[in-house]
Amino acid sequence: MNDTQRRIAASGCARAVSGRGTRLVFLLLVGFFVAVPSAAQESWELYQIGAVRVDGGPEIDGVLDEPIWGAASVIRDFIQQEPDEGAPATESTEVRVLYNGSSLFLGVRALDASTGGVIATEMRRDGDRILEEDNFQVILDTFMDSRSAYMFVVSPLGAQLDQQVSDEGGRDRRASASAINRDWDGVWSVETRVTDEGWVAEIEIPMVTLRFPERDPQSWGINLMRNISRKNEQAYWAPIPKPFGLTRVSLAGSLTDLEALDRGRDLRIKPFVTGGGRTQLESGIRDNSAQSDVGLDLKYGVTAGLNLDLTVNTDFAQAEVDNEQVNLTRFPLFFPEKREFFLENSGQFAVGTTNSTGRIADLFFSRRIGISEARSQVPILGGARLTGKVGQNNIAIMDLQTDDIAGQPGENFLVARYSRDILDRSQIGGIFINKEGGGRYNRTYAADMTLAITPSFTVDGFVAGTSTTGLTEDQIAGHIRAGWLDQSWRIYSEYTDLGDNFNPEVGFVPRVGIKRSKFHFEGNPRPERWGIRMMEPMWNVEYFTDQSGRLVSRRYHHMVGTLFQNNAYLNIMFNREFERLDNPFRVAPDVIIDPGDYKFWNLNVRFNSNPSRRFFYGLSYSPQTFYDGDRTDWGGNLGLRVTDQLATSASFSRNDVSLPAGDFTVDLASFQLDYALSPTMTLRSITQYNSSSEQWSTSARFRYIYRPGSDIYIVYDEVRRDDAIPVSPWVEMYRERQLIVKMTYLLSM
């Protein structure tokens, strides 16, 4: 067995865990008091690259012809994860690494034996298709803590995608997205060129973009991955077993001998200014108004690992738009955070069911600050945030003050989170949240832990309580999850208890007053025939009772997912559900479901074609019973990348519901157009229709990144009313129109 095979086998093997009660307690004690062999330590030693320091640096022009690259450390050996795990990559990749104290440089030469074999059409920053096409990825675990990291992705056309990773991306491939912060935008530069032999990329990552320890010399965790889209092949430098991806930083290699890293004054000032106008039409009355705003975000490195952010009149990300969603449940929908001040290191504030599928309880959700339940803005006067790492200690503190609005007094929000890394990949911590204003308060406090007992077996959970003006009892909550994940199996069990009056107003908890139990069993067979790469048969059962133990919801879930060698995916699901309604449920404006016990089922068939093709599509069909009636859902989406610069997509879904209380149909449609003049100059237009709100909405956004970290936006938004009488959508039927010009400027010292 060679080093690569031994490395993959070691990371994917662990003793099977069985039994309950005393056995689980015994395993927890073993995790605390017995030294588990460190997969991270093994990987750091097997895959090392020495950092080469140079004076100056290469010109970032996408041409690796400068003599300075001749001094670089070179990586050439990449190992497949897919489709043939452990085999050498089928195409050659060469990566050169340099640094000059203030920046890290990577030179990438990605060869392809097939002329014209490079698949790349995406130019936009953080575009949806970057990860589906040819790309190169690098991840940096700067604290070498086997948990957190910075990830950078580049396409052959120079498109950039970056994200912050916490808790190894959730440790579980279907975990909550709170552990991967894709909305974070770091400051880094890329130039690429497609050649007859493949493609080339030059990357510069300034040290000021990263956080790292204050010591000399130091080492970082590092791993590299290349995606070859036409073969659906993923190849890594430090091999990663199939259940995991690049975010599994405990299996990364190491970049050693970094010295005298220079972050300058470590001060970044980013003012923004917006201006524009708005027209609103309500009950036949038109209201025209001008809009203008100015604000400032300041970022200062207190230490190399600890960051202080200050904000004045916080930027509300007016250039971003929420996607329309249809809600036929009794519980609220989740809309992601988009405001820049809240994004960096946001994973450090995460406490809740972060390793669970779906959002059961997020104890802190920053969108509760400055945005009302109706998704309207509440001005934030200012605030401060301190986040980062000191040794094994993770610190995250934030305080913000909102303004008075519509007769409602402003509120103060204080969030303090502390956690400590223990053992190899484990963590314990706690959080305190205080919301206060207008003579009332709401407080949340919790302790949480994640115990990585073996490379495959993880236990995590929290205990929490709230304190709210006027409430005295049943404000306690708790959650525990034990999960096993290796190359063949994914098995976990969860238990959650949320008291009747558990009320984290600065969190996202869709349902309280319940006790929830779930067991999940899933295999990952690989038939290696019929064009199938992997199958995902799974079964789970989920029970909800009220606090007295009375059953209120139950779901049996059966699914078989099939991933084909060409990256197409077929998913067949069948669910059997039970719901007990104690109160009437308004499912549509004129349709109310009466209290009672209901049993129903649903079948869902979905197919998605290879998303890396120029033309791709998805289809879904779901016949089902629904409470005491019937329901049919169906939909589809089409996408076409017309050229390397122009792409378009459209989607449509329909929920057709028939109930004794009444029939109704909900339609949701969208059309999106993307045009990229260059990786730094893009235009996106999205038109959406939602029949439940009876409106059309259109948003067109032009973005120009005129220097790294600095942008100009021109945004046009329009909301139109639906009408039973067919009329041209360009008739005066609008509810609201606005045109906004926004400029940000990053001053780095």
Chain centroid to CA 303: 27
The sign one gets for the Cα dihedral 610, 612, 613, 616 is positive
Helix, strand, or coil (residue 419): strand
244 part of a folded domain:
yes
Q: Are 200 and 151 in contact (CB under 8 A)?
A: no
Mapping DSSP to helix (H, G, I), strand (E, B) and coil, where does residue 194 land?
Answer: strand
Residue 718 has pLDDT above 90, yes or no: no
pLDDT in tens, 345-359: 788 898 888 777 777
Q: Give me the domain span that covers residue 205.
A: 36-258
Beta-bridge partners for 705: 711
Quick one: pLDDT at residue 289?
84
CA-closest candidate to residue 600, choices 620, 560, 629, 621:
629
pLDDT tens digits, residue range 599-651? 999 999 999 999 888 899 999 999 999 999 999 999 999 999 888 889 899 99
* Percent of the chain that is helix, strand, coil (3-state, to 5): 10, 55, 40
Phi first, then psi: what are they for 453, rounded to 5°?
-75, -40
Least confident of 28-42, 220-234, 513-527, 687-701: 28-42
What is residue 41's predicted lDDT score, i.e. its pLDDT? 67
In a domain, 475, yes or no: no
Q: What is the CA radius of gyration of the chain?
A: 26
pLDDT (tens digit, 9 = 90+) per residue, 240-274? Answer: 988 789 999 999 999 999 999 988 888 999 999 98
The pLDDT confidence band at residue 27, using thresholds 50, 70 and 90, is very low
Percent of the chain with pLDDT over 90: 55
Q: Which residues, at least 6 apart from 453, have a Cβ–Cβ distance to it below 8 Å?
A: 27, 28, 30, 31, 36, 459
> Is residue 539 in a domain?
no
| Cβ-based neighbour number of residue 40 at 10 Å | 23
Q: How confident is the model at residue 368 (pLDDT cuts 50, 70, 90)?
A: confident
For residues 14-30, average pLDDT? 36
Residue-level pLDDT at 174 = 52
Specify whether the CB–CB gap between 285 and 293 falls below 8 A. Answer: no
In the sheet with 189-195, reading across from the earlier edge strand, the strands are 73-75, 93-99, 103-111, 198-206, 189-195
Percentage of residues in the chain with pLDDT exceeding 70? 87
Q: Identify the band that residue 734 occupies on the pLDDT scale cut at 50, 70 and 90.
A: low
Please name the residue that has the structure tokens 């509440």: 378
Q: Is 217 part of any domain? A: yes
Contacts of 283 (CB under 8 A, 6+ apart): none
In a 3-state reduction of DSSP, which class is residue 167? helix
The pLDDT-based confidence of 167 (bands split at 50, 70, 90) is confident
Confidence of residue 733 (pLDDT cuts 50, 70, 90): low
Answer yes or no: is 96 within a domain: yes
pTM: 0.83
Mean pLDDT over residues 190-196, rounded?
94
Instruction: Judge whether 571 lies within some domain.
Output: no
Residue 356 neighbours by CB under 8 Å, 6+ apart: 175, 176, 481, 494
- The number of folded domains in the chain is 1
Residue 725 lies in a domain: no
DSSP type of residue 488: S
Between 291 and 39, the more confident residue is 291
Assess if residue 16 is contained within a domain: no
Q: Worst-scoring range by mean pLDDT, 280-294, 417-431, 461-475?
A: 280-294
φ, ψ (nearest 5 deg) of residue 5: -65, -40
Asked if pLDDT for residue 73 goes beyond 80, the answer is yes
CATH of the domain at 78: 2.60.40.1190
* 142 neighbors 156 (Cβ within 8 angstroms): no
Dihedral angle of Cα 169, 173, 176, 177, to the nearest 10 degrees:
60
Q: What is the DSSP code (8-state) at residue 334?
A: P
Single out the residue of 615, 644, 563, 612 nearest to residue 132, CA to CA.
612
Helix (H) or strand (E) holding 42: helix 39-46
Report how far residue 4's alpha carbon sits from residue 740's, in angstroms, rounded to the nearest whole number. 54
The 10s digit of each residue's pLDDT in 435-467 is: 999 889 999 999 999 998 888 899 999 999 999
